[in-house]
Amino acid sequence: MMRLVIGRLMSLVERYPLLVDAAFIIIAWVAVKLLVEFLHVEGYIAFEFPRWLSLGLIVVIFVTAFLYARTQERRLTGTEVAARRLLEEEEASR
């Protein structure tokens, strides 16, 4: 089961490399959450993140990054198409 999930994630990262940046942002968020949780347990602060907020923010970060990566892919694809046209025109003019 885990191989299937990892395989799908790897194919997503290969197709949308910008998802790697989102993974770093999610890791930073988890680090902040763990720090706040530690400080709460030790009694230094009274604040605690609700579980729904933590998981919801991770989902929002991933979905936002995924949609952004898809728009960037479309732009790159459009640029590649334009570059191909220019190359074809140049070859045809020779």
Residues 6+ apart with CB under 8 A from 21: 65
Q: 24: pLDDT confidence band, cut at 50, 70 and 90?
A: very high
Reported pTM: 0.67
Model confidence over 25-71: pLDDT tens digits? 999 999 999 999 999 999 999 888 889 999 999 999 999 998 988 88
Tell me: pLDDT of 85 over 70.
Answer: yes
Choice between 91 and 75, residue whose per-residue pLDDT is larger: 91
Range of the domain at 7: 2-93
For residue 86, CA distances in Å to 72, 75, 76, 78 come to 21, 17, 15, 13
| Domain count across the chain | 1
